[in-house]
Amino acid sequence: MTEQSNSNHEQAPEERLAPRPLARPSVDPAQAATFGRPRGVDGAFDRLYRPDAGNGNGIAQGMKLSPPPPASLTEAFGRPPGAEGVLLERPQDDNGVSAKAAEAQMWAAGSDPWRDPAAGAILAGPAVQTEPEETPPPRSQSAMLSLPEVLFGRRVRPRALALLGVVALLVGALGGLVGWWVADTGNSLTGEATISEAQAGKERPAGSIADIAKRVSPAVVSIEVKSGETGGVGSGVVIDPQGYILTNNHVVSLAVTDKTAVATAVFIDGTRAEAKVVGADPKTDLAVIKVNVPNPTVIQIGKSSDLEPGDAAIAVGSPLGLENTVTSGIVSALHRPVTAADSSGPPIIYDAIQTDAPINPGNSGGALVDSTGALIGINSSIRTDASAGGSGAGSIGIGFAIPSDTAIKVAKTLIKDGKVVHADIGINAASVAANTSEGAQAQNVAPNGPAANAGIKEGDIITKLGGRLVRNAAELTVAVRDHSPGEVVPVQLVREKRLLTVDVTLGSD
Per-residue confidence in pLDDT tens, the chain, 509 aa: 444 444 444 445 556 677 777 777 888 888 887 887 777 677 665 555 555 555 555 555 555 667 888 888 887 887 777 766 555 555 556 565 555 565 555 555 555 556 555 555 555 556 555 666 667 666 666 566 566 665 666 666 777 777 778 888 888 888 888 887 777 665 555 656 677 666 655 677 878 899 999 999 999 999 999 988 888 899 999 999 999 999 999 999 999 888 899 999 999 999 999 999 999 999 999 999 999 999 999 999 999 999 999 999 999 999 988 988 999 999 999 999 988 766 566 788 899 999 999 999 889 999 999 999 999 999 998 887 655 454 556 678 899 999 999 999 999 999 999 999 999 999 988 888 766 678 899 988 999 999 999 999 999 999 999 989 998 889 999 999 999 999 999 999 999 889 999 999 999 98
| Run of H or E including 175 | helix 158-182
Q: Is 335 tagged catalytic?
A: no
Region for 239 from its dihedrals, namely left if φ exceeds 0, alpha if ψ lies in -120 to 50, beta otherwise: alpha
Q: CATH code for 423-508?
A: 2.30.42.10
CA angle 127, 128, 134 (to 5 degrees): 160
HSE of 427, CA atoms in CB hemisphere, 13 A: 29
Q: Is 285 tagged catalytic?
A: yes
Q: Which of 217, 222, 235, 250 is catalytic?
A: 250
Q: Which of 281, 285, 424, 460 is catalytic?
A: 285
Q: Is 26 tagged catalytic?
A: no
CA angle 231, 235, 239 (to 5 degrees): 135
pTM for the complete prediction? 0.60
What is the distance between the alpha carbons of residues 154 and 260, in angstroms, rounded to a whole number? 102
Nearest to 311 by CA among 380, 374, 218: 374
Q: Where are the domains of the chain?
A: 209-417, 423-508
Q: How far is CA 34 from CA 27, 28, 41, 195, in A?
A: 12, 10, 15, 110
Strands 286-291 and 272-281: antiparallel
Q: 79: exposed, middle or buried (C-beta count within 10 Å: 0-12, 13-18, 19+)?
A: exposed
Q: Specify whether the CB–CB gap between 219 and 317 falls below 8 A.
A: no
Provide the CATH topology of domain 209-417. Thrombin, subunit H (2.40.10)
Q: Which of 304, 364, 380, 404 is catalytic?
A: 364
What is the distance between the alpha carbons of residues 501 and 38, in angstroms, rounded to a whole number? 151
